[in-house]
Structure 1
Amino acid sequence: MNTVLINEIETCFKEAFKTDPLLIFSPGRINIIGEHTDYNDGFVFPAAVDKGIVAAIQKTDADSSVAYAVNKDEKITFSLDKIKPSAEGRWENYVFGVIAEIQNRSKKLGNFNIAFGGDIPGGAGMSSSAALENSVVYGLNELFDLGLTKNEMIIISQKAEHNYVGVKCGIMDQYASMFGIENHALLLDCRTVESKPYEIDFKDHQLMLINTNVKHSLSDSAYNDRRSVCENIAELLGIKALRDATESDLETIKDQVSPVNYQKALFVIQENNRAVEASKAMEAGDLERLGQLIYQSHAGLQHQYKVSCEELDFLVEQAKLNNKVLGARMMGGGFGGCTINLVAKDEIEAFSEAASKAYQEKFNKACSVYFIELSDGTHII
């Protein structure tokens, strides 16, 4: 955990509100494999990481509440009985959404002050939004003895994103951030919202993220569009979600859907199987197999689901040129953000230098390289 960040947030809170806060850390997440399967009731394989959101929170006797985004140096004062969404794209919607969803459950909140900041790179597809939502609901649950379980908290965070931010996300991001276990990835069944932890031993390999530092603007609308395609095809098949379909089931309605949408559904079915296969590879310590599945995942995201972009594809191609990179793929919603790479430790430096140089030459823009450790989920510091 970032002690500099913790000290900064605590100091900013004390200076702004003249009192000692409760401090919460809520991590971002990576997803090893299983992309766009979560809102199809499928399997995903995420892990919480050592980058995240630190929130300082405390009750106040004032007749209004204040939220302070330290990284942006912005404060918002609001009344608990007049919560409504701000303009689209505003950070306070994550905070307001959580408050509104708690109040929808007839839970009583008092006024409070919160200051927060993070070290999750923006637009990296590491779910800074889920980390923020979780830090708010976790902090409020502690302060006001709401008696919420962790499962109830993540549903509140997810609904905040649906209803206040306008992104119809699945449950993976909130779950991984809340329930993460140090040195483990979680094979999460998004239907039952239950997971099996797998201790990760990458032996002489390491996970490395390369951020394209691009975010193409159609991401949210394209995300919601993909979701509705999946729901429509599940309905045609007479099933609850694509999680219940096989490739041969899909074949039976091939003439009723466009070739493009057929490929999207096929991707989800195949990706769901890859997530389960990846957990078996992990259990067997078969990193080569895991790497193959990760490469296959990217090919599907690129050609079938069509949520990749030129920059992401370029970085995956760079990975393929190096036989010490076992696997690489885009991670997250798509259209920008990071690739996740499984790289031999003795090749990390050479690969990150070569990929960064090639990327700079190709796009006249720098990419950023991060190394992460797998961490515990949302908790009091």
Structure 2
Amino acid sequence: MNGTAAEFEWTFGYPAESVWSAPGRINLIGEHTDYNDGFVLPMALDHSLAVAAARRDDGTVRLRSRQEPGATDVAVDELEPGSVTGWAGYPAGAIWALLRCGHRVGGLDLLVDSTIPTGAGLSSSAALTCATALATLHLYGIDTDRRSIARAAQHAEGEFVGMPCGILDQSAVLLAERGHALFMDTRSLQTEQVPVDLAEHGLALLTIDTRAPHRLVGGEYAERRRCCEQAARTLGVPALREIDAARLPETLDALDDDRTRRRVRHVVTENERVLRTVELLRAGKLRDVGPLLTASHVSLRDDYEVSVAEVDTAVDAALEAGALGARITGGGFGGCVIALVDEHRASACTEAVRAAYHRNGFTPPETFTVTPAAGARREA
């Protein structure tokens, strides 16, 4: 991250006081469960984002990025939802959220530098809000716990930017540990670090950036959240987390329309898949996780309807080439696919996906393997 600090000095004309990095994330399983008080199982990536920052004494926030064009200057006391748009809305929103929490923070110069693929569903936005929050709190001498920071970062995305996300992404960015997936109960915010040693089992987690644009600030994500919240009210429960999987058929009968029934069925069965996956990981049965990944994709494709043609093509090609399981990861409508593969089959699966894309006239995908990485940290 030395280049980030050097770029900060070149951009602003003086040295940065601090540099913080935050990783992207892959969600192993547990999609669209977090805003339903359910269970999730993400892990951090080696792809990361850095924020170099320094304080200003005039109450101004100046935001710059090495990857994104444009410059944003805004007064701290003028920050409010809608006041800053585009990529700069995320760091601006993080500062706004800290102020709303009662933290006394002021002006900043801030430079962003990222290796997280944008638009791929790897939570570059959560990395940006969390890294900004950590840098800001550090510079202003404020000590608070990371779960509180995660909640503030979630509010930044939900209320400042307008993306009504759950707490999954921010928690993974801040709390993940190397070599582990983060099992989280999003109601209690209790977490457990679950070992994921792919190499020990001769496995690889192949990640396929489908190159289908991943844009969630639009209405599709919000519509699904509203549908779930309305279903919970109809069923008389605080959240769909409360639905007993054993009583799912009769619960679904109490709902009026098929679309709502399918949304509810996904959330309830996805929670069960997360719990089963955690059991298997604890027992060291990583290979047995594959069918659960595929079942998750089928549910996201058919019941939650968040998949697209490029994603389904990647999943089908990987499975046909011998993947143990594959699914869309992230909120959907594009982004990445993960495939659990025998280590020696990773290249064959990659080539199979590329060939399927070529046949369908899609933009060639990017592929890479991932291992669980550490969460956000100070670099300088």
Normalized against structure 1, the TM-score is what? Answer: 0.94
Query: For the Cα contact (< 8 Å) 2:203–2:341, is it kept in 1?
Result: yes
Shift of 1:218: 7.1
Distance 2:103 2:351 in 1: 52
Q: How many residues align?
A: 375
* Partner in structure 2 of residue 296 of structure 1: 295
Shift of 1:354: 2.1
1:206 aligned counterpart, secondary structure: strand
* Partner in structure 2 of residue 10 of structure 1: 5
Cα displacement string for residues 29-54 of structure 1 (whole angstroms, at most 9, x for unaligned residues): 10111111110100010011111211
User: Is 1:113 equivalent to 2:109 in the alignment?
Assistant: yes
Change (3 A) 1:88 1:360: farther
Shift of 1:356: 1.0
Cα displacement string for residues 264-283 of structure 1 (whole angstroms, at most 9, x for unaligned residues): 10110000000000001111
Query: For the Cα contact (< 8 Å) 1:219–1:333, is it kept in 2?
Result: no
* Partner in structure 2 of residue 284 of structure 1: 283
* Partner in structure 2 of residue 262 of structure 1: 261
* Partner in structure 1 of residue 64 of structure 2: 68
Pairing 1:205-284 to 2, within 5 Å after superposition: 205-215=203-213, 220-247=218-245, 248=247, 251-252=250-251, 254-284=253-283
Distance 2:232 2:249 in 1: 9
Match for 1:357 among 349, 355, 358? Answer: 355
* Partner in structure 2 of residue 3 of structure 1: none
Unaligned runs of 5+ in 1: 1-5
Cα displacement string for residues 225-270 of structure 1 (whole angstroms, at most 9, x for unaligned residues): 1111111111111111111102425624525321111011011000
Shift of 1:341: 0.8
* Partner in structure 2 of residue 79 of structure 1: 75
Cα displacement string for residues 273-309 of structure 1 (whole angstroms, at most 9, x for unaligned residues): 0000000111122233200100000000011111111
User: Is 1:48 equivalent to 2:56 in the alignment?
Assistant: no
* Partner in structure 1 of residue 332 of structure 2: 334
* Partner in structure 2 of residue 344 of structure 1: 342
RMSD: 1.7
Higher mean alpha-carbon deviation, 356-365 vs 329-338, is at: 356-365
Change (3 A) 1:267 1:204: same
Unaligned runs of 5+ in 2: none
One-letter amino acid of the counterpart of residue 332, structure 1: G
Shift of 1:151: 1.3
* Partner in structure 1 of residue 181 of structure 2: 185
1:51 aligned counterpart, secondary structure: strand
Match for 1:102 among 98, 102, 109? Answer: 98
Distance 1:188 1:28 in 2: 17
User: Is 1:139 equivalent to 2:135 in the alignment?
Assistant: yes
Distance 2:215 2:97 in 1: 28
Cα displacement string for residues 91-122 of structure 1 (whole angstroms, at most 9, x for unaligned residues): 11111211111111222112221101211111
Change (3 A) 1:88 1:295: farther
One-letter amino acid of the counterpart of residue 38, structure 2: G
1:377 aligned counterpart, secondary structure: coil
Normalized against structure 2, the TM-score is what? Answer: 0.95
1:129 aligned counterpart, secondary structure: helix
Cα displacement string for residues 6-65 of structure 1 (whole angstroms, at most 9, x for unaligned residues): 233111101122123311010111011111111010001001111121110111345522
One-letter amino acid of the counterpart of residue 110, structure 2: I
Query: For the Cα contact (< 8 Å) 1:56–1:116, is it kept in 2?
Result: yes
Query: For the Cα contact (< 8 Å) 2:43–2:182, is it kept in 1?
Result: yes
Distance 1:338 1:73 in 2: 25
Distance 2:295 2:145 in 1: 37
